[in-house]
């Protein structure tokens, strides 16, 4: 009998599967979106909307997308999708950074000795970049990111390169470009400058010397001695001594004046005793480095005088406490030289051989490492050699030719940042930085940055279109750069590399006999100029938002700001949002983590969990800080996903057979319906606000809480009786369906930016014809504030009743709550609240009694159990034909079979 009655129930029914199978289901939806060209459909739908421009920072076209990319790209897409649903027109043009050393490096390794011709190298680099663009494009699309994937911007597109050159032209025009000598790592084997990434350290034997620099007589008085004194210096690169232009001492370091074998010499007190051949004992006098400043000395073998300067890079770890300064051959040396106005002397040619400028005829043409013993001999002959030592150290070598590298000055091009630094700092104030400390960060970077070295002795990049005459004088004008830009726009930058200098010069109307420069432009100019090549050309300037990792304050945010201020006089963005880095559970970066030795690539996680899980993970985190990543966190997120999915599923199940057009008017809703609908409005308000301020984790928490607390544990649970047992088209049941439909419609829209696939799956399951992503967010109506007092009391008393039901359950007095009768004493509720209370307690009977204090009593429900709805009641079983049913179920069953 009971089995038959079960068939008269309206149990939830849906084809929406409990098991998500995201790795299988998502690709099918993605195919559908692509086939429908959903992205352009959305743009068309929003064509009258206010534009919102999120400008994509180009990732480097190298390697697979990893969790860091996943974090950033997902955040971008959540911004895009939420802005779209808020009614904005949101074009998105993804981009890639294509030029640069890492790719050139990889290609050179693959090519080996074939890597001679620039054009060959460049073609291989391009192929390499295109390969990874294709890979990353598929990986990003798989995340559910919608955008102009078929027409992304590539920094190697000729049109892009042309705009990089035009940006440069404007800076040339404003006079903010200059050329200067600066020391760089130089491979004598490859005859090229190297970047740090191209250097390998390996052990090398070298000759080090201790040399005596005689203090000039004019300076002796400073030391308070009359006889001759030498400053002792130690160097591991004797060949740089011909380029010596000064000596550095540490301002706070103590130096002793010692006497040995009738000679006076100066050395740091902390090091003197460890000097080879030291036998002087205690110093005659001790001076601070600061007191030695300005002392002049005679170069040991050249007719040249130098001075002592103080510098903070001097230490007393090794040597003598004095550092010989050759501004053309060391970074510290160069900076000191710049500070005190020394020449950048670098008497070494491309092959690493000393030039005439070195001032010693015998050394000219000698390879620097061969010159070391010769310099030692020179010192000895001049009586300036204190000691020599063979020693082994880790020394930088060229990754390719394996020859030891040297520091050598070559001519480089710089942007004079001081020309517009103040303007840039002003513009920083006009930008909204999220989090706010980003402003300090970039201000610090812009304030402290030296002039921008934009030339690279590389091949894979945009050429610096400069010419040199036979005296080495540079020819670089804005007009010439613009002409090159126009040609490059048509022919690409290979043109510069494969065309003879003479022909280019002729084309540009320059005189004959010029040599073309072979430097490329720093890739930070490439990507930094995207405001010109992309935002201005294809979007709308300035962009509303840039969103990248916090390392970009010194990187792309800065290069974009500087080039934009230099060219347009304004910042390229209105707002800048940053995300932290992906770290492991202990807060350590993944590369240092024990748990994640290997890079965690995006696709393996998407294929294992699904894009929506990955995205839900992103949304669950406060990305402004570092974002922890672990299996456990993913498991937790998967649990949350199930909460949402099952909630959606039960709503769909309860809506089986519901026609939304035949919903019930609000005036007929029950108090519970009204309350839940009002809770929904509160949720919508909270969520829209959170999206507005990009606080996706607030959306996540609000949605999960709503699903599990308001819907699953309350509304859906309480309404089971109504949904399953009431007559199919009873008013109460239809009212509930009306509310559930509205809740679901809103809920799906709200989660769509975070879980685009699951939202779409649900939306289509609701019978909707067009994509969820074409929809707008729901508008927040009146919330639950006006129910607040009453419902606070209802929820509170429900919780109290649950405690007592649990106690009764532990005492085996009842099993499920419908087996109970609840007596509520001393509450403020009235007789006409009884039915509501019984419903929300999910019990069979509620009795209200007055009493001075609030108390709850639970007892087994009285009367017969209705076999259909399982509720107990004294009125049950009164109907002759249905002696096991309650009156309500009798009515419901009779309504099904009017004939019987």
Partner RNA sequence: GGGCCUGUAGCUCAGUUGGUUAGAGCAUGCGCUUGAUAAGCGCAGGGUCACUGGUUCGAGCCCAGUCAGGCCCA
Among 316, 708, 823, 859, binds RNA (CB under 7 A): 708
Count residues binding RNA (CB under 7 A).
80
Q: How far is the CB of 889 from RNA (least distance, A)?
A: 9
C-alpha–C-alpha distance, residues 263 and 478, integer Å? 61
Per CB under 7 A, contacts with RNA among 294-333 are: none
Stretch that binds RNA, among 288-296, 480-488, 623-631, 657-665 (CB under 7 A): 623-631
By beta-carbon proximity to RNA, the closer residue of 68 and 238 is 68
Give the nearest distance from C-beta 84 to RNA in angstroms.
25
- The reply to whether 197 sits near RNA by the rule CB under 7 A is no
Is there binding between residue 649 and RNA (CB under 7 A)? yes
- In 3D, which of 233, 225, 246 has the Cα closest to residue 341? 246
Q: Which of 628, 663, 730, 781 binds RNA (CB under 7 A)?
A: 628
β partners of residue 455: 521
- By the rule CB under 7 A, 585 interacts with RNA: yes
DSSP, collapsed to helix, strand or coil, labels residue 31 as: helix
Task: For RNA, give the closer residue by CB, 130 or 449.
Answer: 449
Q: Which of 221, 227, 693, 810 binds RNA (CB under 7 A)?
A: 810
Region binding RNA by CB under 7 A among candidate stretches 47-55, 135-143, 537-545, 710-718: 710-718
809 lies in the site for RNA, by CB under 7 A: yes
Q: Which of residues 528-567 bind RNA (CB under 7 A)?
A: 550-551, 553-555
Q: Minimum distance from CB of 59 to RNA (Å)? A: 14
Residue 713, burial from CB neighbour count under 10 angstroms (0-12, 13-18, 19+): exposed
Between 625 and 833, name the residue whose CB sits nearer to RNA. Answer: 625
Cβ neighbours for 297, distance < 8 A, ≥ 6 positions apart: 213, 214, 215, 216, 219, 231, 247, 305, 306, 307, 308
CB 164 to RNA: min, Å: 21
The Cα–Cα gap between 896 and 888 comes to 13
Q: What residues numbered 816-845 form the site for RNA, per CB under 7 A? A: 816-817
Instruction: Tell me the backbone φ, ψ of residue 746, rounded to 5 degrees.
Output: -75, -45
3-state SS of 352-371 is CEECHHHCCHHHCCCEHHHH
Which residue among 485, 704, 759, 893 contacts RNA (CB under 7 A)?
Answer: 704
Residues 6+ apart with CB under 8 A from 279: 260
Binding mask 496-515 for RNA (x = CB under 7 A): --------------------
Q: Of residues 766-805, which lie at the interface with RNA (CB under 7 A)?
A: 799, 802-803, 805
Q: How far apart are CA 98 and CA 519, in angstroms?
A: 17
Pick between residue 462 and residue 627 the one whose CB is nearest to RNA.
Answer: 627
Residue 868 in contact with RNA, rule: CB under 7 A: yes
- Cα separation, 95 vs 149, in Å, equals 9
Tokens of 546: 């840039």
- Angle in degrees, 0-180, between the axes of helices 437-448 and 556-568, rounded to the nearest 10: 70
Q: Is 626 a binder of RNA (CB under 7 A)?
A: yes
What part of residues 214-273 is at the interface with RNA (CB under 7 A)?
none
Query: Of the listed pieces 439-447, 499-507, 776-784, 788-796, which binds RNA according to CB under 7 A?
Result: 439-447
Pairing of strands 246-249, 254-260: unpaired
- Cβ neighbors of 150 (< 8 A, separation 6 or more) are none
Q: Would you count residue 80 as binding RNA (CB under 7 A)?
A: no
Asked whether 409 and 240 are in contact (CB, 8 A), the reply is no
Answer yes or no whether residue 625 interacts with RNA by CB under 7 A.
Answer: yes
Q: Based on the shown chain and the rule CB under 7 A, indicate whether residue 592 belongs to the binding site for RNA.
A: yes
Please give the residues from 650 up to 679 whose contact with RNA meets the rule CB under 7 A.
650, 653
Among 106, 222, 537, 642, binds RNA (CB under 7 A): 642
* 281, 294, 815, 826: residue in contact with RNA (rule CB under 7 A): 815
Using alpha carbons, list the distances in angstroms from residue 526 to 120, 157, 311, 336, 476. Answer: 21, 11, 36, 31, 19
> Could you say which residues in the range 679-698 bind RNA, by CB under 7 A?
695, 697-698
Coil, strand, or helix at residue 145? Answer: coil
Separation of CA 788 from chain center? 42
What phi and psi, each to the nearest 5 degrees, are found at residue 512?
-75, 165
Nearer to RNA, 475 or 725 (CB): 725
> Which one of 73-81, 182-190, 587-595, 854-862 is the stretch in contact with RNA (CB under 7 A)?
587-595
Q: Using CA atoms, how far apart are residues 339 and 330, in angstroms rounded to an integer?
A: 14
- Of 204-212, 261-269, 621-629, 828-836, the window that binds RNA (rule: CB under 7 A) is 621-629
Give the CA angle between residues 623, 755, 67 to the nearest 5°: 45
- Least distance to RNA, CB of residue 443, Å: 9
State how beta strands 515-516 and 627-628 pair.
unpaired
Per CB under 7 A, the segment of 371-379, 486-494, 517-525, 628-636 that binds RNA is 628-636
Rounded to an integer, what distance in angstroms lies between the CA atom of residue 185 and that of residue 407?
A: 5
Q: Using the minimum distance from each CB to RNA, give the nearer residue, 119 or 709.
A: 709
Q: How many CB atoms lie within 10 A of CB 295?
A: 24
Q: Which listed residue (45, 705, 825, 879) binds RNA by CB under 7 A?
A: 705
Helices (H), 548-600: 556-568
Q: Does 6 interact with RNA (rule: CB under 7 A)?
A: yes
Q: Is 384 in the site for RNA (CB under 7 A)?
A: no
Q: Please select the residue that binds RNA; options are 219, 643, 823, 855, rule is CB under 7 A.
A: 643
Binding residues for RNA restricted to 399-438, rule: CB under 7 A: 437
């Amino acid at each position: 009998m009971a089995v038959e009655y079960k068939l008269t129930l309206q149990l939830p029914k849906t084809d929406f599967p409990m098991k998500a199978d995201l790795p299988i289901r998502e690709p099918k939806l993605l195919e559908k979106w692509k086939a429908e060209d959903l992205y352009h459909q959305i743009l068309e739908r929003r064509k009258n909307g206010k534009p919102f421009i999120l400008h994509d920072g180009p990732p480097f076209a190298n390697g697979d997308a990893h969790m860091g990319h996943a974090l950033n790209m997902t955040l971008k897409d959540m911004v895009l999708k939420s802005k779209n649903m808020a009614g904005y027109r949101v074009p998105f043009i993804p981009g890639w950074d294509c030029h640069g050393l890492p790719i050139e490096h990889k290609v050179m390794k693959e090519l080996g000795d074939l890597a001679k011709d620039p054009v060959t190298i460049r073609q291989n680099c391009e192929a390499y970049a295109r390969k990874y663009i294709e890979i990353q494009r598929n990986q990003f699309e798989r995340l559910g990111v919608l955008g102009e994937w078929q027409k992304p911007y590539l920094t190697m597109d000729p049109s892009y390169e042309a705009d990089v050159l035009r940006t440069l032209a404007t800076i040339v025009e404003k006079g903010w470009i200059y050329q200067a000598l600066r020391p760089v790592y130089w491979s004598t084997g490859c005859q090229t400058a190297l970047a740090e990434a191209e250097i390998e350290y390996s052990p090398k034997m070298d000759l080090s010397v201790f040399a005596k620099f005689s203090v000039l007589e004019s300076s002796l008085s400073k030391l308070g001695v009359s006889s001759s004194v030498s400053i002792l210096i130690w160097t591991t690169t004797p060949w740089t001594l011909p380029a010596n232009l000064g000596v550095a001492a540490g301002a706070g370091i103590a130096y002793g004046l010692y006497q040995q074998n009738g000679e006076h010499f100066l050395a740091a007190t902390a090091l003197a005793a460890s000097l080879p051949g030291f036998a002087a004992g205690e110093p005659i006098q001790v001076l601070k480095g600061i007191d030695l400043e300005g002392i002049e000395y005679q170069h040991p073998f050249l007719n040249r005088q130098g001075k002592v300067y103080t510098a903070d890079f001097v230490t007393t770890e090794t040597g003598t406490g004095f550092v010989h300064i050759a501004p053309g051959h060391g970074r510290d040396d160069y900076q000191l030289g710049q500070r005190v106005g020394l020449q950048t002397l670098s008497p070494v040619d491309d092959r690493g051989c000393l030039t005439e400028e070195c001032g010693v005829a015998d050394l000219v043409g000698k390879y620097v490492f061969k010159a070391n013993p010769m310099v030692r001999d020179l010192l000895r002959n001049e009586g300036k050699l204190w000691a020599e030592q063979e020693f082994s150290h880790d020394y930088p070598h060229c990754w390719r030719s394996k020859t030891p590298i040297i520091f050598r000055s070559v001519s480089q091009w710089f942007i004079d940042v001081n020309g517009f630094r103040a303007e840039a700092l002003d513009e920083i104030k006009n930008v909204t930085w999220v989090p706010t400390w980003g402003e300090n960060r970039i201000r610090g970077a812009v304030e402290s940055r030296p002039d921008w070295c934009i030339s690279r002795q590389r091949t894979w990049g945009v050429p610096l279109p400069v010419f040199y005459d036979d005296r080495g004088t540079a020819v670089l004008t804005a007009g010439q750069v613009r002409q090159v830009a126009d040609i490059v726009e048509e022919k690409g930058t290979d043109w510069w590399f494969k065309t003879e200098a003479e022909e280019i010069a002729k084309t540009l109307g320059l005189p004959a006999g010029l040599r073309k420069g072979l430097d490329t432009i720093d890739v930070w100019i490439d990507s930094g100029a995207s405001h010109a090549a992309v935002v201005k050309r294809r979007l709308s300037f300035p962009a509303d938002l840039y969103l990248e990792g916090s390392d970009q304050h010194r990187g792309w945010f800065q290069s974009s700001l500087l080039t934009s201020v230099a060219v347009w006089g304004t910042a390229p963005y209105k707002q800048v949002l940053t995300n932290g880095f992906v770290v492991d559970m202990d807060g350590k970066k993944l590369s240092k983590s024990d748990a994640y030795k290997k890079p965690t690539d995006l696709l393996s996680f998407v294929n294992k969990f699904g894009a929506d899980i990955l995205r839900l993970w992103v949304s669950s985190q406060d990305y402004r800080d570092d974002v922890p990543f672990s299996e456990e966190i993913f498991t937790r997120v998967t649990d949350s996903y199930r909460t949402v999915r099952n909630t959606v599923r039960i709503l769909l199940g309860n809506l089986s057979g519901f026609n939304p057009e035949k919903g019930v008017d609000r005036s007929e809703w029950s108090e519970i319906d009204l309350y839940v609908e009002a809770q929904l409005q509160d949720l919508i308000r909270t969520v829209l606000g959170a999206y507005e301020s990009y606080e996706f984790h607030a959306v996540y928490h609000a949605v999960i809480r709503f699903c599990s607390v308001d819907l699953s544990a309350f509304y859906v649970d309480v309404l089971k009786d109504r949904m399953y047992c009431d007559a199919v088209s009873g008013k109460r049941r239809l009212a509930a369906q009306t509310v559930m439909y509205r809740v679901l419609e809103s809920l799906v829209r709200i989660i769509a930016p975070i879980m685009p696939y699951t939202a779409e799956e649900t939306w289509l399951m609701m019978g909707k014809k067009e994509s969820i992503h074409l929809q707008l967010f729901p508008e927040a109506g009146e919330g639950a504030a006006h129910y607040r007092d009453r419902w606070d009391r209802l929820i509170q008393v429900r919780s109290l009743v649950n405690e007592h039901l649990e106690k009764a359950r532990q005492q085996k007095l009842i099993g499920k709550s419908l087996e109970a009768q609840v007596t509520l004493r001393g509450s403020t509720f009235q007789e006409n609240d009884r039915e509501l209370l019984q419903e929300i307690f999910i019990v069979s009977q509620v009795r209200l009694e007055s009493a001075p204090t609030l108390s709850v009593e639970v007892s087994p429900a009285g009367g017969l159990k209705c076999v259909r709805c399982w509720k107990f009641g004294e009125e049950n079983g009164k109907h002759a034909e249905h002696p096991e049913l309650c009156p309500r179920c009798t009515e419901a069953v009779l309504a099904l079979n009017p004939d019987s």
